[in-house]
Amino acid sequence: MTTATCEADVAAIDDLARQLVAELAHHVAEPDAVNAALRAWLDDLGGRELGFVAAAAVRLIFAECLTTIPGPATAGAAAPSLLQRTA
């Protein structure tokens, strides 16, 4: 049995991810424009490649945007739950 291997240009994928995030952010308030942009990316890259770029875009958003959200004020404090109900 052989093992499949995949070679990917990570730098190129990351560059495309940055472009995708920037383009989608530009249209964030316009769902039709977001959908049109995604269709154009799909036409250009195809589903497989767009999947890699989209995954890199999600990683980028978490790594560069969401990590700036302040954490608990003191060490050992419970992290706030996104599912907490407020009165």
Q: Which domain holds residue 22?
A: 10-68
Residue 51 domain-assigned? yes
> What percent of the chain is predicted at pLDDT more than 70?
68
- CA angle, 66 then 69 then 58, to 5°: 5
Q: Residue 38: which pLDDT band, with cuts at 50, 70 and 90?
A: very high
Q: Please report, as a single letter, which amino acid is at residue 69.
A: I
Residue 73 domain-assigned? no
Q: How many domains does the chain have?
A: 1
Residue 76 domain-assigned? no
Residue 84 domain-assigned? no
42 neighbors 34 (Cβ within 8 angstroms): no
Write down the pTM of the prediction.
Answer: 0.67
Residue 33 domain-assigned? yes
Residue 45 domain-assigned? yes
18 neighbors 53 (Cβ within 8 angstroms): no
Residue 78 domain-assigned? no
Element (H, E) at 35: helix 31-45
Residue 82 domain-assigned? no
